[in-house]
């Protein structure tokens, strides 16, 4: 068979329909639909005047659109009918087939092939596992017909079959050799309805079918254990979670959102913990393609439903179940995690991927609407208070111990949008800060940043989104931040927000493990490093600021400057980081550079595992803080601070020469000095 010259052109989600090809070639735009983007190779067959020519092109799994430039070694077929067939394969399995035809006139001609999935319930593999027979190249079928079963008989293809396949989650497929209506990936035909089949395999941990889950680190499946209405449990003991990161993992195919519907994680867990006088509180980490949902601690079996986002659609999905942290490992006498059920099922109340329900506050009551919490202040949606006289979200206080907030459940984009940011309109009274970030009801609820009111009219801001929520359905919260923290202190804080939407912001990192590592994105209103000072009752003895001074920065123009002059005071700054996975024997870590004057002692750490104090020198030096590998994929608050190095200070009223530390160039990475498991 003759060789076809077929060049892969930038196969990516950006699409290539507008690319130009060179004269004497045909540009074939390719759309991989219904889960066929998981293919690792594309078989291409070009038929001209009854003579088929074929080749195989490698494909990056997950890319859904792109283009192929086809060259014709024996001469360009100007004025002749050309048919193009593309078969998407993953290993030996056929995922789908698409056809197109054209009669090129000359120069650069183009066509589009839509590769459709074979659908659920159709087994395209042969008994020996070698896959279906290729089309009969000695007797190719005319346009509008196919011989996908290789029996030498041409039958109508989907385009000419007249089948409508209008039932939900149904599509026409001729991959079996006969055009028919089949269910999309993950669905099976029950009567005339395509019904979802819960994934992954063995969601109840009954070991049926056997070895569906890959176990590691000492995790075990007890198929006869009593559960919440069903037998079978995943069990992760104290030794397993504390010494070896015990977990259960599985991979499976999921349809695209367009071919399916909203889904939720259906998870039932229980944790046993005896920790003396201290309360237990660790949760269950449910991983979805690198993202993590934390299921709250419960001492009895309890069912939770958590909506899934973009990470769970359109191709191969990896899931895992493990303990959410190791906080109790050193002190708990009893520590045991049970996962009774772990499945993905339909849930019409979940938002579509990449959407913000009621982002403009105009809908009175819709799925995932904003939930205001007054906390002794004011939190509401006010008609006419928003941008351009529309409705807006309003937070207000009258004294220092009021903490109103409002939370919305958002489905954050993942691969569908690069350099992700959330854009919204904001206004607030002069000098007071509104914080925004994680709105979960349990855990550390780390803030992502804050905006300080300038007393003026609405301005629109674009704030980078941290990596750990990308592709997930996650609560987003706006809340007030007080400087007084005393009910007797009058403090009028008043903020209005409006028109939330997801956007691409070229200033935001593509992989947002840390949002503003060098303080270059922080401005007078929007800051990714909220600052905190503990004055201990005496003003003027402590300060925290981001200085715009290249002479004080290690690189760029800005650095964090923290100063104290009295015992028992401190200055600190915190930001949100996403804990990266270990690489080989190198565990997750934060690296940064710091320097200080002779009197300063700097400390660095994060909310669930402080990194301890480290003395800084007069010149910038790199410091390393190890992160817990149990927190991989989670968002945690990372902070740095300074306090005076005063070993002879007897009381908190003791004052000393100003102790100042400067910090710059943070990096979330892995390091050989940090534990990998």
Q: How does residue 56 score in pLDDT terms, banded at 50, 70 and 90?
A: confident
Same domain, 225 and 185: no
What's the average model confidence in pLDDT over 498-512? 97
- Consecutive H or E run containing 238: helix 238-243
Residues 226, 250, 193, 156, Cα dihedral to 10°: -160
Domain boundary, last residue among 329, 346, 363 = 346
Q: What is the mean pLDDT of residues 335-350?
A: 96
C-beta of residue 28 within 8 angstroms of C-beta of residue 94? no
Quick check: 194 and 177 in contact, CB under 8 A?
no
Question: Phi then psi for 631, rounded to 5 degrees?
Answer: -100, 10
Q: What angle do CA 618, 621, 626 make, to 5 degrees?
A: 135
pLDDT digits 0-9 by tens, 163-179:
989 899 999 999 889 99
CATH number of the domain within which 590 lies: 2.60.120.260
Give residue-wise pLDDT tens across range 364-396.
654 458 999 999 999 999 999 999 999 999 999
Average of pLDDT values for 305-318? 96
Phi, psi of 71 (to 5 degrees): -105, 150
DSSP 241: H
- The pLDDT, as a whole number, for residue 64 is 85
Confidence at 2, pLDDT banded by 50, 70, 90: very low
218 vs 5, which has greater pLDDT?
A: 218
Q: Among 451, 475, 510, where does a domain finish? A: 510
Please check whether residue 523 lies inside any domain of the structure.
no
Q: Is residue 604 part of a domain?
A: yes
Count of residues in the chain: 677
The DSSP call for residue 239 is: H
DSSP-assigned letters across all residues of 606-635: ETTS---EE---SS-EEEEEE--GGGTT-E
pLDDT of residue 10: 39
Residue 643's domain spans which residues?
531-671
Selection from 133, 162, 167, 163 nearest residue 148 by Cα: 133
Say what the pTM is: 0.77
Better pLDDT: 441 or 588: 588
The answer on 592 and 505 residing in a single domain is no
Q: Verify that 489 and 558 share a domain, yes or no.
A: no
For residue 566, is pLDDT > 90? no
Establish if 199 belongs to a structural domain. Answer: no
- Mark whether 71 and 102 lie in a shared domain: yes
Give yes or no for a contact between 189 and 196, defined as CB atoms under 8 angstroms apart: no
Q: Distance of alpha carbon 63 from its chain centroid, rounded? A: 17
Residues 171 and 226 in one domain: no
Domain for residue 452, yes or no?
A: yes
Residue 266 has pLDDT above 90, yes or no: yes
Identify whether 204 is part of a domain: no
Q: Is the domain of 399 the same as that of 490? A: yes
Residues 577 and 665 in one domain: yes
Q: Above 50 in pLDDT, residue 131?
A: no
Residue 197 inside a domain? The answer is: no
Q: Are strands 187-190 and 180-183 parallel, antiparallel or unpaired?
A: unpaired
Residue 310: which pLDDT band, with cuts at 50, 70 and 90?
A: very high
pLDDT for 13 beyond 60? no
pLDDT, mean of residues 32-41 = 87
Same domain, 503 and 580: no
Residue 16: pLDDT over 80: no
The predicted pLDDT at position 70 comes to: 84
Q: What percent of the chain has pLDDT over 90?
A: 58
Structure tokens at 304: 């939770």
Q: What is the pLDDT of residue 335?
A: 92
User: Measuring CA to CA, which residue among 291, 241, 295, 242 is closest to residue 269?
Assistant: 295
Q: What is the pLDDT of residues 627-648, one digit of tens each?
A: 999 999 999 999 888 876 666 6
Question: What is the average per-residue pLDDT within 570-593?
Answer: 94
**Max CA distance (Å), the chain:** 97
> What three-state secondary structure class fits 469?
helix
**Residue 444 confidence class, pLDDT cut points 50, 70, 90:** low
pLDDT in tens, 78-95: 878 888 999 998 887 788
Are 577 and 638 spatial neighbours (Cβ–Cβ below 8 Å)? yes
How many CB atoms within 10 Å of residue 652?
A: 12
Query: What SS3 class is residue 363?
Result: coil
Confidence tier at 450 by pLDDT (50, 70, 90): very high
Q: What is the pLDDT of residue 424?
A: 98
How far apart CA 183 and CA 173 sit, in angstroms, is: 9
Band the pLDDT of 600: cuts 50, 70, 90.
Answer: low
Asked whether residue 493 is domain-assigned, the answer is: yes
- How far apart are the C-alpha atoms of 389 and 380, rounded to whole Å? 16
Q: How big is the CA angle at 577 (ends 575 and 578), to the nearest 5 degrees?
A: 165
Average pLDDT along the chain: 86
Residue that is last in its domain, among 190, 206, 241? 190
- Phi, psi for 640 (deg, rounded to 5): -130, 155
pLDDT above 70 coverage of the chain, percent: 87
Output the pLDDT for position 543. 92
Rounded to whole angstroms, what are the CA distances from 447 to 128, 356, 473? 55, 19, 17
601 within domain boundaries: yes
281 and 165 belong to one structural domain:
no
> Does 90 lie in the same domain as 41?
yes
Give Cβ neighbours of residue 67 (< 8 Å, ≥ 6 apart): 9, 10, 11, 16, 17, 19, 27, 28, 29, 30
**331 and 401 share one domain:** no
Beta pairing partners, 41: 58, 89
**Domain holding 21: CATH number?**
2.60.40.2990
Tell me: do 174 and 71 sit in the same domain. yes
How many domains, in total, are found in the chain?
A: 4
Region 658-667: mean pLDDT is: 92
Answer yes or no: is pLDDT of 107 > 70: no
């Amino acid at each position: 068979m003759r060789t076809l010259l077929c060049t892969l052109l930038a196969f990516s989600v950006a699409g290539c329909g507008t690319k130009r090809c060179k004269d004497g070639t045909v540009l074939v735009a390719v759309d991989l639909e219904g889960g066929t983007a998981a293919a690792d190779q594309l078989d291409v067959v070009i038929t001209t005047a009854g003579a088929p020519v074929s080749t195989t092109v490698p494909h990056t799994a997950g890319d859904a659109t792109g283009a192929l430039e086809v060259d014709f070694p024996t001469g360009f077929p100007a004025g002749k009918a050309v048919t193009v067939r593309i078969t998407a394969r993953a290993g030996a399995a056929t995922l789908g087939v698409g056809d197109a035809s054209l009669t090129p006139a000359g120069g650069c001609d183009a066509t589009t092939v839509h590769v459709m999935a074979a659908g659920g319930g159709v087994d395209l593999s042969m008994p020996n596992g070698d896959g279906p027979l290729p089309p009969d190249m000695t007797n190719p079928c005319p346009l509008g017909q196919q011989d996908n079963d290789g029996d030498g008989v041409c039958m109508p293809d989907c385009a000419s079959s007249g089948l409508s396949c209008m039932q939900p989650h149904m599509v026409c497929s001729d991959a079996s050799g006969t055009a028919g209506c089949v269910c999309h990936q993950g669905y099976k035909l029950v009567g005339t309805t395509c019904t979802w089949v819960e994934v992954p395999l063995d969601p109840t941990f009954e070991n049926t079918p056997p070895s569906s889950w890959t176990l590691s680190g000492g995790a075990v499946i007890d198929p006869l254990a009593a559960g919440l209405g069903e037998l079978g449990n995943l069990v992760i003991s104290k030794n397993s979670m504390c010494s070896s990161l015990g977990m259960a993992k599985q991979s499976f195919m999921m349809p695209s959102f367009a071919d399916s519907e909203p889904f939720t994680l259906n998870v039932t867990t229980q944790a046993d913990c005896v920790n003396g006088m201290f309360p237990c509180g660790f949760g269950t980490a449910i991983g979805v393609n690198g993202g993590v949902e934390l299921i709250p601690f419960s001492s009895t079996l309890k069912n939770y439903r958590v909506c899934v986002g973009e990470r769970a659609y359109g191709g191969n999905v990896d899931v895992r179940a493990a303990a959410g942290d190791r906080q109790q490992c050193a002190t708990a006498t009893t520590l045991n995690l049970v996962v009774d059920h772990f499945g993905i099922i339909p849930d019409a109340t979940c938002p579509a991927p990449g959407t913000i329900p009621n982002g403009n506050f105009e809908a009175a009551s819709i799925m995932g609407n904003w939930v205001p919490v007054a906390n002794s202040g004011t939190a509401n949606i006010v008609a006419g208070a928003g941008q351009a006289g529309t409705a807006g979200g309003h937070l207000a206080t009258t004294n220092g111990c009021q903490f109103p907030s409002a939370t919305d459940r958002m489905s954050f984009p993942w691969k569908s949008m690069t350099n992700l940011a959330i854009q919204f309109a904001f206004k607030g009274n002069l000098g007071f800060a509104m914080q925004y970030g994680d709105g979960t009801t349990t855990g550390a609820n780390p803030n992502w940043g804050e905006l300080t009111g300038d007393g003026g009219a609405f301005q629109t801001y674009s704030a980078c989104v941290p990596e750990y929520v990308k592709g997930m359905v996650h609560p987003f919260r706006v809340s007030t931040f007080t400087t007084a923290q005393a009910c007797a202190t009058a403090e009028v804080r008043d903020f209005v927000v409006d028109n939330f939407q997801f956007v691409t912001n070229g200033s935001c990192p593509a992989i947002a493990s840390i949002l503003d590592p060098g303080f270059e994105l922080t401005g007078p209103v929007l800051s990714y490093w909220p600052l905190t000072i503990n004055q201990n009752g005496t003003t003027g003895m402590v300060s925290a600021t981001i200085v715009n001074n290249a002479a004080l920065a290690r690189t760029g123009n800005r650095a964090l400057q923290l100063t104290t002059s009295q015992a028992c005071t401190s200055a600190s700054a915190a930001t949100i980081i996403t804990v990266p996975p270990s690489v080989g024997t190198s565990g997750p870590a934060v690296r940064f550079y710091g320097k200080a004057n002779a009197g300063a002692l700097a400390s660095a750490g994060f909310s669930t595992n402080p990194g301890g104090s480290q003395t800084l020198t007069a010149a910038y030096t790199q410091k390393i803080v190890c992160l817990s590998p149990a927190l991989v994929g989670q968002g945690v608050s990372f902070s740095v601070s300074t306090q005076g190095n005063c070993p002879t200070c007897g009381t908190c009223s003791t004052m000393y020469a100003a102790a100042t530390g400067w910090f710059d160039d943070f990096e979330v990475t892995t390091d050989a000095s940090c534990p990998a498991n």
